[in-house]
Structure 1
Amino acid sequence: MFNNLIYNIPKTEHSEENLKKVLTAHPEIKFVSLVGIDLSGNDTDEKIPMKIFLEDIDGFLKGAIQTDGSSVVLPGIASLNNAKVDMIADTEVNWFVDYNYENIDFETGKPVGSLRIPCFLIHEDKAVDSRHLLKNSITYMKETLLGFYKDYPELLVPYGITVDDIADIEATSATELEFWVKTPQEKAHVEQLSTSQVLQEQYWTRTKGSVRTALEEALILMEKYGLEPEMGHKEVGGVKATLSEDGSLTHIMEQLEIDWKYSDAVQTGDNELFVRILVKETFRRHGLDVNFLAKPINGVAGSGEHTHLSIALKLKNGKRINLFAPTTKHFLSIYGYASVMGVLKNYEVINPFVSTTNDSFRRLKPGFEAPICIVTSLGHSVDIPSRNRTILLGVIRDTSNPLATRFELRAPNPHTNTYLVLGTLFMACIDGISYAITNKKTEDDLLAELSKKSGTPADYLEKGRAYRSEEDVFEDYTEEERKKLFGKAPATVYENLTSLNKYPEKVEILTKGDVFTDKIINSFKTGAEKRWLTEITNRIIPGYINEIRKYKILHNVEKALDLDISNWQKINDLRYYLMKDSHSSKSLFTKVIEAATSGDYAAVSNLQVEMDTKMEELRKYYSNYKRNLLDL
């Protein structure tokens, strides 16, 4: 099935002549799909017959295709009365061929393919999509750095080069993909999953049956697509499957992770998007559901998507210099320290782009290595790299390989819009770098400022905060200490989005160079608020109602003990408080819906926190109630 197919068309082969030659030689590729990414991270997909593409390749690539911008997430930009959006192909990235292995072409005997061409979305002659925002942020970072090298040539002395030796400045990145896989209709048994997690029964253990086959097939396909997979393994979540009479495994529910090689930043976003499609379709062919939610099961570890970042100089002689790697005996270079400081100082306005869904905040809670505190860890010593998994921004070093020096943001999840997050990170990095260079800061200066205690004044970082800890953030600090030192983490999407209004001076670092314009930020915020409210009223509350209705009285009144009766009374009181209205009082659910209808978002946010807390109490009470019953 995998033989004699082409899986990608590299960016070096996008000439009209070559495209016509390749696509004519592969008639199984029957469709073209332009892939634009809106501000919510949704990707467009359409089936345009290959014949139309081949008739006018040049015109097609330069903007012959239009779409209805009001149908994607661009609120305040593309409206019903101004919805025209042009789709301009991006010829500077690799293009993937998406094969439908369930539709075999009669003439060729091969699966039907669709050539996915990443594109930019243009409205009123301005790019308004996530991919272009990332591209613009990288351009701004490069231009700023090159300007510094011209103004401060001494910056390049440690590398033994001049500005004329630089061919390019590369923004490199990598992501990873954690996900849950299960047999359809399988229900989560939280206590079993939680116990297995605490006992560490699943992490990196052997995969079996259809899960193993699907994982191996996905990794083989990734290799063919040139994505260079590095590892696929079981993650911490999951329970042991059941062996059926025919020897197959059923009741599958486990968590997996796939990693692949880094790339330039825009290509990284495209690669991640395609890997999600490839994984989901591959596992589906083997009868398995894949879930990319950040927290699909309450009480069990969620799925993260750590985002790695570095900046490198590409020299005309082909050599690469990692700007984060130190040139002296230090954890990081000036650029590395300054980039970490830029991200931490401005994280309040980065976080809205990282965590934009209700699901993401179910994951970002203390415990389960949840990165909720704005703090970094550099390691216990320069000589021996270490990893602190309780912090937000981790520094990764390999003393034998300077090119591997990078940092990882640990808060993103599989539904995070990687393009926007990387864009905000690069803007924050260059803000920190600008501070360091223009103020002639040394590595010692920056390390001292990054390591300062709360209350110590600093030139760049805030006086009342601490930014570095080599301790376990959750075990070695109380909740109050964490809030005082590292800031109070937002509890809801709404709280997170309010930072875009609360910190105008930090928003300014995103708008430099007209990268994130006010119009783009407001559009993103409007779309995120709409999704937040719609999900609460149309999905979360109806889901909670269905769950509550399943919590029924189970004890025999004649045989029940006083504890059973009191346990049920607590449960029933909560059920009524959450969802039962009367003439004299309104339920919590009704209060949430009414606040949403009236546009009182702050009230919705506060009520949502209470609602989720009460549901957690209800689940706990019902579990304890059932555990004490002899007969069910």
Structure 2
Amino acid sequence: MDIYGLEPEMGHKEVGGIQAKVDKDGNYQIMEQLEIDWKYSTAVQAVDNEAFVKNIIEETFKENGLNVTFLAKPVDGIAGSGEHTHIGIALKLKNGKRINLFSSTKNHFLSTFGYASIMGILKNYEVINPFVSSTTDSLRRLKPGFEAPVCIVTSIGRSVEVPSRNRSVLIGVVRELQSPLATRFELRAPNPGTNTYIAVGALYMAMLDGIKYALENGKTEDDLLAELSKKQGDTADYLEKDRAYRSEIDVFEEYTDEQREDLYGKAPATVYENLSALEKYSEKKAVLTNGGILKDKFIESFKEAFLEKWTVEIEHRILNQYSDEIRNFKQLHHSDKALDIDLANWAKVNELRYALLKDSYSQKSLFTQIKEAVESKEYAKASDLQVIIEKKIAELRQSYSTYKKNLLDL
């Protein structure tokens, strides 16, 4: 990266990975998650650099006999791979001086432009999200839990003197007190498969909507900070009444799932559910198409392409992989040695296997139901069935593990 002028700034082992082991043939196996970043640039150049970096990584790993994946959730139960996107706005004056429009000179977390920009993203994120997380893989990573950015909420810091380190939010404010030029936003939801060109375009359109609101209504930093910090139920001029948008506490530790969803909204569970936001929130979609930057025709094309990708993936990859897995969950106990608990455990496993995969004259399996829903283009039904299937697969895996652990003779 350095040779190609990308100026890498940091690289280290991340929290993901699987414990190293030696296989039966004496080969050393290790899987690690690595994080790197490189110097900022203009929007288009930065995204060009991202594509180039992926190519460099792939070729470097290949040359050294290693495999690399950019999947968001390559292994179930192991930390996924995110791609935090940093965004900002700066002016370059005729004399060459640069001014960060997000930095405040008035003992505030952010300037008027900064507050307005992050409010624009938060208010309109439902229609930005389809461009950020457009695959089943990306949504598997975004499950409530350790540092998963599923809530439409920000953290800006408990005080102006102490920058925020809350890693449970969707978008954070990055500030360095000694370097005003460093002030920026970190969107934590993207993944290596995100089309960053489109996502960044949508983000800046939303930011412009917030800026327009602030400037046309003469809002000050104090006004905007108060609105951004509003409590659920408080009336506001721009942000929605029934939502809260700022949290300086860990949203997974301090709230139940129900409380968190009530305050900050419920994350979409499927690709269809995410893409449907473009129709559900038509007034927010208009923010993206304002000025003809992201045209309706383009958005519809994107939606159709990823809807088709979603259905093809369900039919030809997800269901096939699950079918193989289900068939491998076989009876292991011997009838003359099994105890009542073993029989009960196996009965539960078998019940789940049948519900998922096996048809009868009176009842179609979940797999058959979702195939028929996809073929008849009943996408809402297919989406609901996918959620049910994912839950039952997780339950089946846990049930089979419980069943297997209680057996002495395998």
Report if TM-score (shorter chain) is over 0.5: yes
Return the alpha-carbon distance in structure 2 between the equivalents of residues 343 and 485 of structure 1: 17
**Is residue 120 of structure 2 the alignment partner of residue 334 of structure 1?**
no
Give the aligned residue type for 1:333: S
1:241–1:249 contact (8 Å) kept in structure 2: no
Deviation string 1:106-152 (CA, Å, 9 cap, x unpaired) is xxxxxxxxxxxxxxxxxxxxxxxxxxxxxxxxxxxxxxxxxxxxxxx
Return the alpha-carbon distance in structure 2 between the equivalents of residues 337 and 390 of structure 1: 20
Match of residue 402, structure 1, among 157, 167, 180:
180
Return the alpha-carbon distance in structure 1 between the equivalents of residues 156 and 401 of structure 2: 42
Match of residue 67, structure 2, among 276, 289, 292:
289
Following TM superposition, by how much is the alpha carbon of 1:239 offset from its aligned partner in structure 2, in angstroms?
2.9
Aligned positions of 1:71-470 closer than 5 A? 222-242=1-21, 250-470=28-248
Return the alpha-carbon distance in structure 1 between the equivalents of residues 295 and 22 of structure 2: 56
Identify the residue that residue 146 of structure 1 maps to in structure 2.
Answer: none
Return the alpha-carbon distance in structure 2 between the equivalents of residues 478 and 278 of structure 1: 42
Following TM superposition, by how much is the alpha carbon of 1:244 offset from its aligned partner in structure 2, in angstroms?
8.2
Following TM superposition, by how much is the alpha carbon of 1:452 offset from its aligned partner in structure 2, in angstroms?
0.4
- TM superposition score normalised by structure 2: 0.98
2:326–2:353 contact (8 Å) kept in structure 1: yes
Give the aligned residue type for 1:564: D
Following TM superposition, by how much is the alpha carbon of 1:368 offset from its aligned partner in structure 2, in angstroms?
2.5
Following TM superposition, by how much is the alpha carbon of 1:243 offset from its aligned partner in structure 2, in angstroms?
5.7
Deviation string 1:149-185 (CA, Å, 9 cap, x unpaired) is xxxxxxxxxxxxxxxxxxxxxxxxxxxxxxxxxxxxx
Identify the residue that residue 590 of structure 1 maps to in structure 2.
Answer: 368
Aligned positions of 1:557-576 closer than 5 A? 557-576=335-354
**Is residue 291 of structure 2 the alignment partner of residue 524 of structure 1?**
no
2:125–2:152 contact (8 Å) kept in structure 1: yes
Alignment CA distance shift 1:453-1:245 (3 Å): closer
Identify the residue that residue 474 of structure 1 maps to in structure 2.
Answer: 252
Return the alpha-carbon distance in structure 2 between the equivalents of residues 421 and 307 of structure 1: 10
Q: How many correspondences in the alignment?
A: 410
Following TM superposition, by how much is the alpha carbon of 1:249 offset from its aligned partner in structure 2, in angstroms?
6.0
Match of residue 265, structure 2, among 487, 499, 507:
487
Aligned positions of 1:544-555 closer than 5 A? 544-555=322-333
Deviation string 1:199-244 (CA, Å, 9 cap, x unpaired) is xxxxxxxxxxxxxxxxxxxxxxx11011111122111122343468
Give the aligned residue type for 1:226: G
Give the aligned residue type for 2:211: I
Deviation string 1:478-516 (CA, Å, 9 cap, x unpaired) is 222112211121111111111111111111111111011
Return the alpha-carbon distance in structure 1 between the equivalents of residues 31 and 336 of structure 2: 39
Identify the residue that residue 316 of structure 2 maps to in structure 1.
Answer: 538
Identify the residue that residue 31 of structure 1 maps to in structure 2.
Answer: none
2:146–2:252 contact (8 Å) kept in structure 1: no
Return the alpha-carbon distance in structure 1 between the equivalents of residues 100 and 152 of structure 2: 25
**Which structure has the larger Rg?**
1
Give SS of 1:239's match. strand
Alignment CA distance shift 1:559-1:492 (3 Å): same
1:454–1:466 contact (8 Å) kept in structure 2: yes
Return the alpha-carbon distance in structure 1 between the equivalents of residues 20 and 259 of structure 2: 42
Higher strand share: 1
1:454–1:463 contact (8 Å) kept in structure 2: yes
Structure 2 unmatched runs, 5+: none
Return the alpha-carbon distance in structure 1 between the equivalents of residues 248 and 6 of structure 2: 34
- TM superposition score normalised by structure 1: 0.64
Return the alpha-carbon distance in structure 1 between the equivalents of residues 277 and 24 of structure 2: 56
Return the alpha-carbon distance in structure 1 between the equivalents of residues 264 and 19 of structure 2: 39
Alignment CA distance shift 1:465-1:565 (3 Å): same
Following TM superposition, by how much is the alpha carbon of 1:588 offset from its aligned partner in structure 2, in angstroms?
0.3
Structure 1 unmatched runs, 5+: 1-221
Give SS of 1:466's match. coil
2:142–2:149 contact (8 Å) kept in structure 1: yes
Alignment CA distance shift 1:586-1:224 (3 Å): same
Return the alpha-carbon distance in structure 2 between the equivalents of residues 240 and 459 of structure 1: 52
Following TM superposition, by how much is the alpha carbon of 1:627 offset from its aligned partner in structure 2, in angstroms?
1.6
Deviation string 1:590-624 (CA, Å, 9 cap, x unpaired) is 00000000010000000000000000001111111
Higher helix share: 2
Identify the residue that residue 629 of structure 1 maps to in structure 2.
Answer: 407
Return the alpha-carbon distance in structure 1 between the equivalents of residues 203 and 163 of structure 2: 23
Alignment CA distance shift 1:260-1:610 (3 Å): same
Identity over the aligned pairs, expressed in percent? 65
Match of residue 276, structure 2, among 498, 515, 519:
498
Return the alpha-carbon distance in structure 2 between the equivalents of residues 586 and 368 of structure 1: 37
Following TM superposition, by how much is the alpha carbon of 1:245 offset from its aligned partner in structure 2, in angstroms?
11
Return the alpha-carbon distance in structure 2 between the equivalents of residues 388 and 265 of structure 1: 26
Following TM superposition, by how much is the alpha carbon of 1:383 offset from its aligned partner in structure 2, in angstroms?
0.7
Following TM superposition, by how much is the alpha carbon of 1:315 offset from its aligned partner in structure 2, in angstroms?
1.1
Give the aligned residue type for 1:475: E
1:313–1:321 contact (8 Å) kept in structure 2: yes
The list of structure 1 runs, each at least 4 consecutive aligned residues, that deviate by more than 3 angstroms after superposition, is 242-246
Following TM superposition, by how much is the alpha carbon of 1:631 offset from its aligned partner in structure 2, in angstroms?
2.4
Deviation string 1:279-323 (CA, Å, 9 cap, x unpaired) is 112112222211111111111111100110000000111111110
